[in-house]
Structure 1
Amino acid sequence: MSAAIEFKLTTPDELTDLLDAIEAFGEAQDLPVRTVMTLNLVLEELVTNAINYGSGPGGAVVNVWAELRDARVYGCVRDNGVAFNPLEHRAPNIEASIEDRPIGGLGLHIVREMAQNLDYQRVGAENVLKFQLSVQEG
């Protein structure tokens, strides 16, 4: 059996509504708190990047989808922004001191560490990033 949630955002202010919807989805599906927190963090990073850095000509439109199926969460973030493959973005040197590190990239690093089976495609005028999360007990 599967359960899914879909959400559309056009402004950063709607991010809180998305996170609330993910919390409600997790509660309705009896997901472990750790899984819900991971899903929230991954989606917050991806959506924030899409809205703040990749807005299309008419402003950002970000569609989020997540589905619980077979003890895994399958997620997808689609946006109308400029082409950007986050999987090609170089990982930050987390061993370097704060002073020596360039600004940015840590959020994408966190997403790559927390999510599995990341897949990016440019489909027409949209960025499409799919990912999976294991349902984590605890």
Structure 2
Amino acid sequence: MPALSAKVSLNIESSPEALNRIVDAIESISLQEEWPPELLFTMNLVIEELGINIMEYAYGGDSGEAFEIIITSEPSELTVDLVDAGPPFNPLTDAPEPDTEAPMLDRPVGGLGIHLVKSMMDEVDYKRECDRNHLRLVKRREK
């Protein structure tokens, strides 16, 4: 029986090895909270995509910089907060919309990650506060 609420907070150093910590944390909370496999897949995909984006774009691949991921699992929804100290970047307004109608070979490499996140989550919100980017994702759980 899942708990009423569970919360995991990770301080992640920007490095390729950090992805393993993220995946392990998601797996752990998903087992504890009895997430269905499709929810685990969705959350893994979205959090990994955004974690990689933070490492590559906010910090330019610079190892040593850190960001925070907070995962809150409630009976009705999951909330993920990602906080980084990179330059201001609102993925909701600053990331160009990909041309999903163009043939695959004519599309530029990249650019689908944010589109994928927005399409898989129920809510995506951004704010800049205390010189940090705060991205909040909400995924409602099916009844």
Alignment TM-score > 0.5, same fold: yes
Q: Partners of 1:17 and 1:65 in 2: how far apart? A: 13
Shift of 1:136: 4.3
Is the Cα contact below 8 Å between 1:42 and 1:111 reproduced in 2? yes
Give runs of aligned pairs for residues 87-126 of structure 1, distance below 5 A: 87-88=92-93, 89-126=95-132
TM-score by length of 2: 0.88
SS in 1 for 2:20: helix
1:33 partnered with 2:22: no
Q: Which runs of 5+ in 2 are unaligned?
A: none
Q: Which residue of 2 aligns with 1:18?
A: 22
Q: Partners of 1:101 and 1:92 in 2: how far apart? A: 8
Is the Cα contact below 8 Å between 2:8 and 2:72 reproduced in 1? yes
Shift of 1:24: 1.1
Q: 1:80 to 1:58 in 2, by over 3 A?
A: farther
Shift of 1:42: 0.8
Shift of 1:9: 1.1
Is the Cα contact below 8 Å between 2:11 and 2:68 reproduced in 1? yes
Q: Partners of 2:98 and 2:63 in 1: how far apart? A: 31
Give runs of aligned pairs for residues 1-80 of structure 1, distance below 5 A: 1-10=4-13, 11-55=15-59, 59-80=64-85
Is the Cα contact below 8 Å between 2:75 and 2:141 reproduced in 1? no
Q: Partners of 1:2 and 1:86 in 2: how far apart? A: 28
Q: Which runs of 5+ in 1 are unaligned?
A: none
Q: Partners of 1:69 and 1:113 in 2: how far apart? A: 21
Detail structure 1 runs of 4+ shifted over 4 Å in the superposition. 56-59
Is the Cα contact below 8 Å between 2:121 and 2:137 reproduced in 1? yes
